[in-house]
Structure 1
Amino acid sequence: MRKSLVRGAAFMLAASFAAYAHAQPNAAADASLDDAWRAVRIADCARCHGKDHEGLAAPSIVGFARTQGRERFLAAVLDGNPPMGMPAYRGTPLVADRIDAIYRYFAGRADGSIAPGAAPHGR
């Protein structure tokens, strides 16, 4: 009976640890999302896309991330749409070097896992 209690306790501890580890955000991912958020702020996307990037003079980036795939999002940001006033950021390291994290940030905004306004992880 004691062995089964020990095994049961070990199983519960392992399951609890696995659940805890799964619930804890990856520190590197957190840092890259925060870095992406800072890059978006520095690039001043809000100037055209609105304070929370949900549309102003230009369409909602959040809505675009919600309805378009990753490749389309990356192309829109990196290649821009100069006739419509959207600059291309392919040659801008601030944005181009962080494009995957920027996409993840806006995908998180689109699915509601990242709130508008403050940095994703409050840094």
Structure 2
Amino acid sequence: TPALHEEAALALGATRWEMVRIAVLPFGRSGVISASMLGLGRALGETMAVVMVLSVGNSFSWDILQAGKHSTIAANIALQFPESTGINTSALIATGLALFAITMVVNSIARWIVSRRAEFSGAN
């Protein structure tokens, strides 16, 4: 943020917290929101780290505390695609399309929030 905005808020009698809330946060809000949404989009697409850390199993389980039975969409595609044939290949391609759609929706929401907040932030 411009230092003049911070100094002006303090000169007008604002406390440090009021200065942060009034002068600093409006400038950084869109950046914080876009960074968190970008991180969320990155986490949705993470594949190999999940495969190596969780030792993904081929079976499905609703019990999230059961060891060796966890999988993400991307890890499922990475592990099962080499030996899939026929309808299984089509199912894996459909799950990849679903992952793409989810990531696109998250990024579109982030862009919408950032563009909506950019006009109020004072940063161009």
Fold-level match, TM-score > 0.5?
no
Choose between structure 1 and 2: higher helix proportion: 2
- Give the TM-score taking structure 1 as reference length: 0.32
> Relative contact order (alpha carbons < 8 A, sep ≥ 6): 1 or 2 greater?
2
- Give the TM-score taking structure 2 as reference length: 0.32
Rg larger for? 2
